[in-house]
Amino acid sequence: MMGFLNNELFPALLGAIFGLVLSVVFDDALRNMKRKIKRRFKRMFKVNNDLNSHLFMIGDEELDFYVVEGDGDITLEHGSIKTSVRQNSVVLPTDLQGIKDAIILEEEEKTKKNLHGAWNGPLFGLHSYRRFRDEESEDPVAIFNFHMSDYFTFLATNKKINDPLPSGETIREKYIPYDDLDQLVPFLANGFGVVLVVITGDDQVIMTRRSNDSAVRPGERDVSVVEGVHPNKDHSPLHSGPCFFKAACRGANEELNLNVSEQAIQFLGYGIDLEYYQWNMIGYVRIEESFNDVKMLRSTGAADKWEAKQMTGEAFTKKNVAKLIMEKDMWATAKVALYWTLKKEDNVFNFNKYLKKLK
């Protein structure tokens, strides 16, 4: 034994073991430090919200998300969501119209030169909304009135929300009413969407990673389905406007090649993601198929498979979903969707208290 201790290999072996221990001990600490630095950096450039509308908070982290309706307990049923569409479009302010005109000219030049360009597809813009409680059941009721918008308007407003205007202010600073976020800005509310968390039969939550070709948030981690409500594909059989349940089913089919029943979808609420001022209805669905079943179905072809370059399955447990929310980089809406789904499924009423146990 003493001979081994005196051997010149012993110090090297001891150093290797010590290095391994240090890497294990400090790896989590370094990751936590990185997250804290990133959060502080984001707060440095964030609009001061001390006296403004209260944003969604998880633990000590304030997300760029404002809840208009929802808490993870209530659900919005078919009959409690009513939609309509007004005929007239919204006139953009002069400074924003100038940006859109420049985009139109740029895209026309690309077309003339046979270059790849953007397609100015139709979108819904949210013109007005109203929320109240049913007199008998006290269940939430939501009424949405839409106007017609288009993709170039989205590019000129939402995508460029942090760009400076001739006045020196950014679009965000000039037009988003942080002191009263319930006050809708119709010419910014372009591309109303549905966000859906899919839980498989073997209790996996489907996560995706956005394509690098996406106009906003390219390459970022996301939840199962994110779909813009389409003016031509999502007509409601009950109202003159669109059906969010139909949009969610279409998104699941086009992105995952998955057939989902409208009756299986539970919408938990809606709000504004302030990174790009995007309004979304948030919900989730449980399916019978396993994660491998969905993986196989998607591999055989999906109309909009290109929108997500990667699909993974994450265990739908309280601990794992909490770690996804707190440790993975994703937009605020995805975190809210996971939080509400977890709360609805597992009755996690005091999430902040649970997070302290994980630290």
- Residue 1 forms part of a structural domain: no
- Residue 21 forms part of a structural domain: no
How is the chain split among helix, strand and coil, in percent rounded to 5? Answer: 40, 25, 35
Amino acid identity of residue 294, one-letter, is V
- Residue 40 forms part of a structural domain: no
254, two tokens: 């086009």
Q: Return per-residue pLDDT of the chain as tens, 359 residues.
A: 445 445 555 455 555 455 544 443 444 444 445 444 444 444 444 445 454 568 999 888 899 999 999 999 999 998 999 999 998 889 999 999 999 999 999 999 999 999 988 899 999 999 999 999 998 888 999 999 999 999 999 999 999 999 999 999 999 999 999 999 999 999 999 999 999 999 999 999 999 998 777 777 778 899 999 999 999 999 999 889 999 999 999 999 999 999 999 999 999 999 999 999 999 999 999 999 999 999 999 999 887 766 777 899 999 998 899 889 988 899 999 999 999 999 998 765 566 666 666 65
- Residue 50 forms part of a structural domain: no
Distance (Å, whole) CA 189 – CA 278 = 6
**Tally of helices (H runs) and strands (E runs) in the chain:** 10, 13
The pLDDT score that the predictor gives to residue 95 is: 97
Residue span of the structural domain in which 122 resides: 57-358
202, two tokens: 């073997």
- Residue 26 forms part of a structural domain: no
Domain count of the chain?
Answer: 1
Q: Rounded to an integer, what is the distance from CA 125 to the centroid of its chain?
A: 17
Distance (Å, whole) CA 261 – CA 268 = 17
- Residue 204 forms part of a structural domain: yes
- Residue 344 forms part of a structural domain: yes
CB of 314 within 8 A of CB of 229?
A: no
> What's the CATH number where 323 sits?
3.90.79.10
